[in-house]
Structure 1
Amino acid sequence: MGREQLLREFQRVRAFTEKLCQPLAVDDYQIQSIVQTSPPKWHLAHVSWFFETFILEHFKPDHAPFHASFDYLFNSYYYTHGKMQPRPERGLLSRPTVEHVMAYRAYIDEQIRKLINQVDEKAWPSLSNRMVLGLNHEQQHQELLLMDIKHNFFINPLRPAYRDTLVIPAGATSPMHWFECEGGLYSIGHQGEGFSFDNETPRHSVLLYDHRLADRLITNGEYLEFITDGGYTNPALWLADGWALLQTQQWRHPLYWEQQDSEWRQFTLSGLQPLNHAEPVCHISYFEADAYARWVGKRLPKEEELEVALEEQKMIGNFTNTDLFHPVPAKKDGQWFGDLWAWTCSPYIAYPGFKPLAGRMGEYNGKFMSSQMVLKGGSCVTPKGHTRASYRNFFYPNERWMFSGLRLAEDVA
């Protein structure tokens, strides 16, 4: 990527992050509803810290930090770099103010622009690679921003809307069809010249058996049948950890659902709305997805099965560019990318021969390869162009504040 192109992409990505925050009141920037979320103000500063720490300080030895304490406040989990504000306490920081954080962003933007224009040709390939990583990192936080804002607003009894101008998707969903997949030796993992995270590599061979994949996600209406049939009260359907979680948390439906006068409603980024039975069911944990699959006599897809299928699909779907920030009913050509991250039954572990990035950035992905599950396909709050067939998202099986959904699979005898 050339200098001018990289600079334009940097400006585009940075501007979109700030655009996502425009509907917020100044008070909204401070809230951290649960340990998993972060205040919007923290996201805005952290992605700037990433550019400052891993790019400016590396390529510009005389770089003057914007503020000496920001290295502690906005480091996320890079322990090999230094100490940090405890994650559960990010919402306790009334200072720096939003205005101060925006000044920090402007300072980093200007320093990055100068660096792109001035770095010598010998250092350019290395700088370009790190910049692309930084941009993809910021795009991940764009999705996290919308996830966290939604939960922050949900815990407010007023149920405020992030944007009351968002269009509410309507229409019916297409009938489910089954995508036939022949067994054999396949390859998965990133290939080609485009960007990928280290956890998508190396490309390697996997053995698949004959199976089928549903061509769309499970809908609210279909999931409601599971609830009505006593799915949340039948221990035979649940993994042991999932059943224990149900007893302690008293879950009886997906996150953001609530029943009012026998009518189901769902909290969205446009506020509380009637539940559309044709939309994909959203904000479910791995345990809920697995229990539903057992209830219908199917299973969740394996990571390698879904990746092989995604490689055959066009990269089209409902991403942030649609400006809906909510999943939509499936169309007749299926539902593969966008809308919701689909749970797989595969643990998030290293590929054979995996090597993390060198140095401090090696903490980016590899150290999380424990006790989490893989999701694939992207969501309605994923920036367009950010995901791909080999992309490996990962969350703990009990988490559900992300835009997660459910696709079925079955073995072919």
Structure 2
Amino acid sequence: MVGQNILSREKVLLENYTKIRNRSVEICKPLAIEDYVVQPVVDVSPPKWHLGHTTWFFETFILIPNFEGYEVFDPQYNFVFNSYYETIGARVIRTDRGNLSRPSVSDIYRYREYVDKQMNNFLATHHLSEDLSKLFELGLNHEQQHQELLLTDIKFILGHNPLFPAYDEHSDIEETGIRKSRMISFPEEVYEIGFKGEGFCFDNELNRHKVYLNDFEISSGLVNNAEYLEFIEDGGYSDFRYWHAEGWEWVKENQAKAPLYWHFVDGTWMQYTLKGLIKVNPEEAVTHINFYEASAFASWKGMRLPTEAEWEVASEHFDWGKRWEWTGSAYLPYPGFKKVAGAVGEYNGKFMVNQMVLRGASIATPEGHSRNTYRNFFHARLQWQFTGIRLAR
């Protein structure tokens, strides 16, 4: 049979495809059926939408244009599951994703099974060109990005339920361990940053280029809850001197007093985690803080956030990967960056405005999806990702 003679590259791609696709389903296993459709705020998408959208990506970009005779599962799904690709056509606006009681959760799981079967057939009968292999890898990494979003969105959904239900009472995913911190020094020099070598990277990690850096110091460890609590107790949220003007407006508008998911209950700081509401552990790395908060804390400490170039240059000298770390760098293109033609060109380039760069990875980042050149990016106000603080001076 043809399927028994899959070329080695296609076999590896199929193994990776199956593993990654199964992981998305595993993340959703602890959910009740009611959890799948909730959308508390515009930045959070319902879990079932993530499951549908990642499936739509493979159907739209791999199967429809490349698998002769492929029959679309449901022509209406392009409107439902297109996220932001103007090239592909009209779509449900982001704020309305939580209004989609249909397609049902069972419909979406049938959709995944259908596309997965067709992808298996496609890989068993086709030799992928270099360009198509790259697109396939992008699809896998795209699904891994949504796996992280699944966890953070699920936490936001459950963490804003007044009952504070646990996602998994036995979860240890948010534990970061205890590490002593010291300042690491780097000399004034011309360095190189950006992706190099073989393997996958996103287009915004290219091209590798030189940067001039003054001498700087960067912390070997992340700011922990005890340190951040000192900032709170010292009136950090009530002193405008530490905040950007825009950040201070955010504090006042939201009456902000602590990181997202922190609650002051009967004289004790409690924190909602994936295993429910627990007492804040002073030794864990602080998380769910936005750029405004990270910058204000750094100012309060008489320090600053590292630039993304400083972070990348120093990253081999400290442990990273437990929190997405805010930098002081705006999300802008590297020298020589070019958007490719078509819908794939919309993936990163069109977001290079009004966002800040985060480096590293988080405890929600899937295995094999992190590297020290990865450029994550979010608006300065957003807290719902597993974000943290590393100081520099």
State whether TM-score is above 0.5.
yes
Determine whether 1:49 maps to 2:71. Answer: no
1:219-368 matches, within 5 Å, as: 219-310=224-315, 312-313=316-317, 334=318, 336-368=319-351
Counterpart code for 1:220: N
Determine whether 1:381 maps to 2:364. Answer: yes
Counterparts of 2:117 and 2:86, CA distance in 1: 28
SS in 1 for 2:121: helix
**Equivalent position to 2:218, from 213, 228, 249:** 213
Residues paired across the two proteins, number: 386
Determine whether 1:80 maps to 2:87. Answer: yes
1:63-212 matches, within 5 Å, as: 63-120=70-127, 123-167=128-172, 173-212=178-217
**Gap runs ≥5 in structure 1:** 314-333
Are the equivalent residues in 1 in contact too, given 2:194–2:209 (CA < 8 A)? yes
Counterpart code for 1:224: L
| Distance change (3 Å), C-alpha of 1:86 and 1:172 | closer
Are the equivalent residues in 1 in contact too, given 2:54–2:146 (CA < 8 A)? yes
Counterpart code for 1:7: L
Counterpart code for 1:408: L
Counterparts of 2:177 and 2:208, CA distance in 1: 39
Are the equivalent residues in 1 in contact too, given 2:174–2:273 (CA < 8 A)? no
Measure how far apart 1:291 and its partner are: 0.4
SS in 2 for 1:2: helix
Counterparts of 2:93 and 2:172, CA distance in 1: 37
SS in 1 for 2:336: coil
Are the equivalent residues in 2 in contact too, given 1:221–1:277 (CA < 8 A)? yes
Counterparts of 1:200 and 1:232, CA distance in 2: 35
**Gap runs ≥5 in structure 2:** 1-7
Are the equivalent residues in 2 in contact too, given 1:341–1:379 (CA < 8 A)? yes
SS in 1 for 2:285: coil
Counterparts of 1:44 and 1:212, CA distance in 2: 42
Counterparts of 1:243 and 1:276, CA distance in 2: 27
| Distance change (3 Å), C-alpha of 1:118 and 1:172 | closer
Are the equivalent residues in 1 in contact too, given 2:176–2:285 (CA < 8 A)? no
| Distance change (3 Å), C-alpha of 1:358 and 1:233 | same
Runs of 4+ residues deviating >6 angstroms: 168-172
SS in 2 for 1:409: coil
Counterpart code for 1:389: N
Determine whether 1:13 maps to 2:25. Answer: no
Counterpart code for 1:126: D
SS in 1 for 2:271: strand
Counterpart code for 1:45: G
Kindly provide the CA deviation profile for residues 353-392 of structure 1, in whole angstroms up to 9, marking residues without a partner as x.
1012321110000000000000001000001210101100
Range 388-397 or range 175-184, more displaced: 175-184
Identity %, equivalent residues: 47
Are the equivalent residues in 2 in contact too, given 1:199–1:356 (CA < 8 A)? no
Range 171-180 or range 194-203, more displaced: 171-180
Counterpart code for 2:236: G
TM norm structure 1: 0.91
Counterparts of 2:295 and 2:39, CA distance in 1: 29
Kindly provide the CA deviation profile for residues 138-166 of structure 1, in whole angstroms up to 9, marking residues without a partner as x.
00000000000000011111100011121
Q: Which residue of 1 aligns with 2:4?
A: none
Are the equivalent residues in 2 in contact too, given 1:170–1:276 (CA < 8 A)? no
Counterparts of 2:132 and 2:117, CA distance in 1: 16
Measure how far apart 1:126 and its partner are: 2.5
Measure how far apart 1:129 and its partner are: 1.3
Counterparts of 1:118 and 1:4, CA distance in 2: 11
Kindly provide the CA deviation profile for residues 83-106 of structure 1, in whole angstroms up to 9, marking residues without a partner as x.
100100000011111111000001
Q: Which residue of 2 aligns with 1:319?
A: none
Counterparts of 1:392 and 1:169, CA distance in 2: 22
Counterparts of 1:358 and 1:190, CA distance in 2: 21
Q: Which residue of 1 aligns with 2:5?
A: none
SS in 2 for 1:337: coil
Measure how far apart 1:178 and its partner are: 1.0
Q: Which residue of 1 aligns with 2:391?
A: 408
Quote the RMSD (CA, aligned, Å). 1.3
Counterparts of 2:32 and 2:19, CA distance in 1: 23
